[in-house]
């Protein structure tokens, strides 16, 4: 992540520290999501429990970074790209914290479903969605680190695929519950896990929209992909 350099070395250091902490938080969130999905698919209750009870690190980083950005704004009164950077960081850490919350939920479900007799037949529904979401999160953090608008837009586009996949899994599980009541409890748990993963995709989309705002100075929230292409890339 590279932005404007200033004559004040201390100011540069403060901004660089904020950027560095943001990427550190992103890395921690990515690890949490990866471990949550692994615990779920490999029926690893110990790993699931670890994910479920380590969310406090992400929460603490959000609070500390929020305070750091607020202090910079209060003392430096930034403008233009610096102000957009700080606003972007404050918004991104909120989405990262919420991704951590979703990972925590998946970790708890992983622990609960480890002993399930019928779960083994259901969890394959989550494998593809989990892999898709992990790639989406990795691409999001990469777009954030490199301020890559093209990659950010690709992530925004991919969110629709995640939404479609979630809808497909939900229909599949509802059908199974109707056919065999023994699957109801486990199917509902799998549905909630799929919902958490789908929400991770939503937060990735939000973060990428902030990347576009930071680089292009345009707020593209609540804007469809075609309009973003027209207004940002001139396609």
pLDDT at 9: 87
108 confidence band (pLDDT: 50, 70, 90)? very high
Joined tokens for residue 180 = 């065999």
Q: In whole angstroms, give the CA distance from residue 119 to residue 189.
A: 9
* CA nearest neighbour of 99 among 188, 22, 166, 197: 197
Q: Tokens 């690190």 — which residue?
A: 57
Which value, in Å, is the radius of gyration of the alpha carbons in the chain? 20
pLDDT at 194: 95
Q: For residue 119, is pLDDT > 90?
A: no
Answer yes or no: are the C-beta atoms of 130 and 40 closer than 8 Å.
Answer: yes
Write the pLDDT tens digit of every residue in 193-219.
999 999 999 999 999 999 999 999 888
Write the pLDDT tens digit of every residue in 140-179.
999 999 999 999 999 999 999 999 999 999 998 888 888 8
pLDDT at 57: 93
* Between 3 and 23, residue with greater pLDDT: 23
Sign of the dihedral defined by the CA atoms of residues 168, 174, 179, 182, in that order:
positive
19 confidence band (pLDDT: 50, 70, 90)? very high
pLDDT at 62: 96
Residue 97 has phi, psi (to 5 degrees) of -65, -40
Answer yes or no: are the C-beta atoms of 18 and 66 closer than 8 Å.
Answer: no
pLDDT at 228: 74
pLDDT at 7: 62
Q: For residue 29, is pLDDT > 90?
A: yes
Burial of 69 (0-12, 13-18, 19+ CB in 10 A): buried
Answer yes or no: are the C-beta atoms of 198 and 136 closer than 8 Å.
Answer: no
Distance set, CA 146 to CA 140, 149, 208, 213, 215 (Å): 10, 9, 12, 14, 10
3-state secondary structure 12-72: HHHHHHHHHHHHHHHHHHHHHHHHHHHHHHCCCHHHHHHHHCCHHHHHHHHHHHHHHHHHH
**3-class SS shares of the chain: helix, strand, coil, % to 5:** 85, 0, 15
Percent residues over pLDDT 90 in the chain: 65
Write the pLDDT tens digit of every residue in 61-96.
999 999 999 999 999 998 888 999 999 999 999 999
Angle ∠(62,66,68) on CA atoms, nearest 5:
120
* CA nearest neighbour of 88 among 198, 196, 1: 1
pLDDT at 189: 87
């Amino acid at each position: 992540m590279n932005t404007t350099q200033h004559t004040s070395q201390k100011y540069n250091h403060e901004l660089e520290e904020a950027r560095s902490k943001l990427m550190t938080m992103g890395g921690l969130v990515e690890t949490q999501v990866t471990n949550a999905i692994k615990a779920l698919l490999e029926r690893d209750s110990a790993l699931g429990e670890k994910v479920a009870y380590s969310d406090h690190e992400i929460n603490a980083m959000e609070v500390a970074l929020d305070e750091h950005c607020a202090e910079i704004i209060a003392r430096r009164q930034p403008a233009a790209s610096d102000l957009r950077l700080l606003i972007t960081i404050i918004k991104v850490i909120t989405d990262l914290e919420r991704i951590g919350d979703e990972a925590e939920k998946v970790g708890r479900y992983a622990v609960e479903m480890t002993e399930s007799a019928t779960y083994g037949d259901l969890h394959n529904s989550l494998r593809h969605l989990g892999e898709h979401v992990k790639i989406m999160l990795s691409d999001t953090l990469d777009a954030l680190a490199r301020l890559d608008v093209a990659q950010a837009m690709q992530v925004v586009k991919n969110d629709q695929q995640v939404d479609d996949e979630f809808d497909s899994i939900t229909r599949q599980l509802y059908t199974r519950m109707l056919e065999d009541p023994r699957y109801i409890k486990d199917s509902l748990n799998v549905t909630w896990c799929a919902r958490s993963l789908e929400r991770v995709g939503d937060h990735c989309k939000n973060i990428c929209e902030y990347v576009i705002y930071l680089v292009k100075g345009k707020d593209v929230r609540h804007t469809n992909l075609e309009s973003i292409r027209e207004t940002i890339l001139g396609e």
